[in-house]
Structure 1
Amino acid sequence: MYTAPKPLASPPGSVEVRFPRQTTFPGNALQVFSELLFTSYFFFWPAGVLVWLGLSPWALGTFSWKTLWSFSALYTLQLFAHRPHLNKGWYYQWLLYGPLTDFVLHYHDATVIREGPAPDPKGRYLFAMYPHGVYGVCRAFSGGMGCWRALFPGITSRWGSFGAAFLLPGIREMSLCSGCIDASKPILERALKRGENVSLLPGGIDEMNLTDGDSKDTKLVMTDRKGFVKLSIENGLDIVPGFCFGEKWIHHTIRLPPFFQSLLRPLRMSGTLLRGRGCSLMGFLDPPLGFVWGQPIKVKQQKPVDEKYLDQVHQEVAESVRDIFNRHKARFGYAEDETLSFVSSVEAKEQISPKKKYA
């Protein structure tokens, strides 16, 4: 059984925020609703289909088939005609930096730590979060009134997301409301020129597929992922690395057959599904989640980028993430023999090869 962590000495200026699980009925209802919304928005589209059928002449008869199909055609058309993710996106601070994200953290009885003093609000930053996890629950630590606004006052950040997300009903709207824009380099650079900061999960779908709660080795796809570092150097962004503890345990993973994985990969979608509590996608309650933001890694702007300097900064990011893991793992329920290793995207694909058994 998980026991409460002991305080750990942190660098001067560090801040720790706890989000204890709510026990009152209103608080519990809010945290469960927030977690359900946060983990289930990938399934908004089937819910929309059910509503569509419910309003049809087959059920309530509220709308005619002509009206429903016309609405569907217009919605599909705007997916391709209206593409805000390739520009400034939507206004997002009301959702990402609102109370909903905090209640997700309350559900997970979470703790978040920022090491060192608060970064200068006038600075420019790229926030790199590890590991991706099968769902990327660590994203909850990138928002909230009691979380982000307390740890990084005066700083906001735009999420880079895979392009296919903006073509999927429900996922598109949730992503845009959360401040997501396309993660391609030209789109991110335009955001940076507007003075915005960027948040990324550099490990991508390869790191998602490596999520394994039964393994004592947490693998990060990092050795050949240098694009985010190059983006930082070219645009003069300090890199703030962070690591999420416990994500690999809060969902059970289900690996799709190789055929479906091959269909999903061109869309940059994972071939690994997840299962949560009961019939939902809500994470299991034990252990509590923990997240540690490291101190910013200072970057000197260069263009073109010197390869030796690129390798140097990339190595600093890797060492910072490893240092965070080694110093905080015991506090967040990791055994002494738990390790962290870095692999390439090629090695990641080999480790999830079709030769392995699939659930």
Structure 2
Amino acid sequence: MKTLLAAYSGVQKGTGSSILSALLELPSAPWLSKSKLVKHLQVISVLHFILTFLALGIASTVLLVYLFCTDCWVIAALYTAWLIFDWNTPKQGGRRSTWVRNWTVWTYFRDYFPIRLIKTHNLLPSRNYIFGYHPHGIFCFGAFCNFSTEATGFSKKFPGIRPSLATLAGNFRLPLLRDYLMFGGICPVNRNSIDYLLSRNGTGNAVVIVVGGAAESLDCAPGLNSVTLKNRKGFVKLALQKGADLVPVYSFGENEAYKQVMFAEGSWWRHVQRRLQKLLGFAPCLFHGCGFFSSESWGMVPYCKPINTVVGEPITVARVEDPTPDMIDMYHSMYINSLTTLFDKYKTRFGLKETDYLLVR
């Protein structure tokens, strides 16, 4: 156990020396071979990501309130003062950390599935971009790994482009979680934040928007290839107003990570999910993966299914400060056609059948 903890410590810090020395000290016991240790580190890295998003914000908020009731209230007061002072930073480009984006833990996260980033066209650093990411899946594993870390080599494949994954603005109201997200280059998915990145932060910015959002997660399950897009036109209007090129992105395998209990449209349970999604900002899905020690048991660990994220050809968008509905509809149709073409071109390469098609809801 000490050896395992030492190894993970090196992973978290972003150094490989602790891992290597820990591996060399491993006994020759068959139940703890080098390959099994690596697999455990991969699982731990994925659970670290899941628990961070599910629990870090709530846990840190409770801790902050508790500290105010103890002799350590000064620490809580200082952090609260800093929080107030730093409140608008997420909406002004955030606080990206190259060190955090290059943590070794993300390479273990990448290799668990594994996750790959496929480049199809060059992107010019002299332009700004809006990436439409599809599908949402349960936890957006592909979006996070490809655009909030350097595990798949985004900066090397797209030199001069700075990706910023947009997520729920409510996450940036929670202590510690907000800082953790900003270190990865993640920003709030609201008008002020995206406006700043696309108009006051120079060029070479790529805002990654999971267009289907929480509603799309309700339709994610193995074997389903559907996106929520027909009535999602806000990102197109924003691209026109800022003169940012639209780039379709599709992750093959994102929906394979978990199995979800699907409720039929019109059912009482589906109605409850939709209502909670509007109230909370995220959809309460009933899903399961596998257990920590066995793929045959149920648990929070996602299934080891490859996720291949394909970045498509950019659609050049002219800047129009007040675009008409017809103009928005035209570019929206172009985007849907481009996404569908991207899906059809790569589907057989990543395990789908020629007869499979992309359902646009």
Change (3 A) 1:202 1:80: farther
List per-residue Cα deviations over 1:266-324 (Å, max 9, x = no partner). Answer: 23122215433215533211x31211111111111111113322222211211111112
Q: Which protein has the bigger helix share?
A: 2
- Residue type at the aligned position of 1:32: V
Residue in structure 2 matched with residue 91 of structure 1 by the alignment = 96
1:202 corresponds to which of 200, 204, 211: 211
Whether the aligned pair in 2 keeps the contact of 1:232 and 1:239 (CA below 8 Å) is yes
Shift of 1:24: 4.3
Does 1:149 find its partner at 2:155? yes
In structure 2, how many angstroms separate the alpha carbons of the residues matched to 1:335 and 1:294?
Answer: 20
1:233-272 matched pairs, under 5 angstroms = 233-253=240-260, 262-272=275-285
1:100-249 matched pairs, under 5 angstroms = 100-116=105-121, 118-139=122-143, 140-142=145-147, 143-169=149-175, 171-192=177-198, 193-195=200-202, 196-213=205-222, 216-249=223-256
Residue in structure 1 matched with residue 339 of structure 2 by the alignment = 321
Residue in structure 2 matched with residue 44 of structure 1 by the alignment = 56
**Secondary structure of residue in 2 paired with 1:191:** helix
Shift of 1:95: 2.5
In structure 1, how many angstroms separate the alpha carbons of the residues matched to 2:245 and 2:257?
Answer: 31
In structure 2, how many angstroms separate the alpha carbons of the residues matched to 1:298 and 1:322?
Answer: 17
Please, what is the CA RMSD of the aligned residues? 3.2
Identity %, equivalent residues: 24
Pick which of 331-340 and 291-300 moved more: 331-340
- Residue type at the aligned position of 1:135: F
Pick which of 246-255 and 297-306 moved more: 246-255
In structure 2, how many angstroms separate the alpha carbons of the residues matched to 1:217 and 1:274?
Answer: 15
In structure 1, how many angstroms separate the alpha carbons of the residues matched to 2:345 and 2:311?
Answer: 12
Whether the aligned pair in 1 keeps the contact of 2:117 and 2:154 (CA below 8 Å) is no
Gaps of 5+ in 1: 1-22, 57-62, 344-359
1:291-330 matched pairs, under 5 angstroms = 291-330=309-348
- Residue type at the aligned position of 1:147: G
Greater RCO (Cα-Cα under 8 Å, separation 6 or more) = 1
Pick which of 97-106 and 182-191 moved more: 97-106
- Residue type at the aligned position of 2:167: S
1:59-98 matched pairs, under 5 angstroms = 66-67=70-71, 82-83=86-87, 84-96=89-101, 98=103
**Secondary structure of residue in 2 paired with 1:157:** strand
Shift of 1:265: 2.4
Change (3 A) 1:170 1:249: farther
TM-score (norm. length: structure 1) = 0.74
